Amino acid sequence: MRALTGGPILIVVARADEREPLALALRFAGHRVIEARSADEARAHASSLRPTLLVLDERFAALGQAWKRALAPARLPVVLLVEAIRDHLRADDLLTKPVDVGALLVRVRGHLYRSEAAPGGAGWAQRGA
């Protein structure tokens, strides 16, 4: 599977046993992946690497919302990994734990495709819009 974007996907999950299989699957699918264990580590990566998508554990949901506000109007999709779906959680997508890797790959691909097709996205200018 060809990755749709050249920018990295930032995964922010504290537990290695949850983070590493997701990162491996995304790398195998052709994506560049940056892993972070904490909000501070994520901020350090994000400032220099400009991720194109965030995969966050629900404990980092506020981090995703803050980045979306700071980067507006740029599109930064957030996929939130949660124990249970709750109304107060806000993200572009929610996946319940344990995360099905196939579902994650489908969601990531869809978000990256929509991001590139949107005005200002990497694929937008190439289509002559």
Percentage, residues of the chain above pLDDT 90: 53
* Mean pLDDT, range 92-107, rounded to an integer: 94
What digits encode the pLDDT tens for the residues 10-42? 999 999 999 999 999 999 999 999 999 999 999
The answer for residues whose C-beta is within 8 angstroms of residue 121's C-beta and 6 or more apart is 75, 115
CA distance linking residue 3 with residue 12, whole number of Å:
20
Asked whether residue 100 carries a pLDDT value surpassing 90, the answer given is yes
Q: 123 pLDDT exceeds 50?
A: no
Residue 43 half-sphere exposure toward CB, CA atoms < 13 A: 9
Residue range 107-123: average pLDDT?
73
Is 14 exposed, middle or buried, given 0-12, 13-18 or 19+ CB atoms closer than 10 A? middle
Lowest pLDDT segment from 64-68, 97-101, 110-114, 125-129: 125-129
- What is the Cα–Cα distance from 121 to 113, expressed in whole angstroms? 9
What CATH code would you report for 9-120?
3.40.50.2300
Q: Which residues contact 127 (CB under 8 A, 6 or more apart)?
A: 117
pLDDT of amino acid 6? 62
Average per-residue pLDDT for the chain: 82
pLDDT for residue 102 is more than 90? yes
Q: Using CA atoms, how far apart are residues 55 and 77, in angstroms rounded to an integer?
A: 9
CA distance 95 to 97: 7
Other C-beta atoms closer than 10 Å to the C-beta of 110 total 14
What average pLDDT does this structure show over 73-90?
Answer: 81
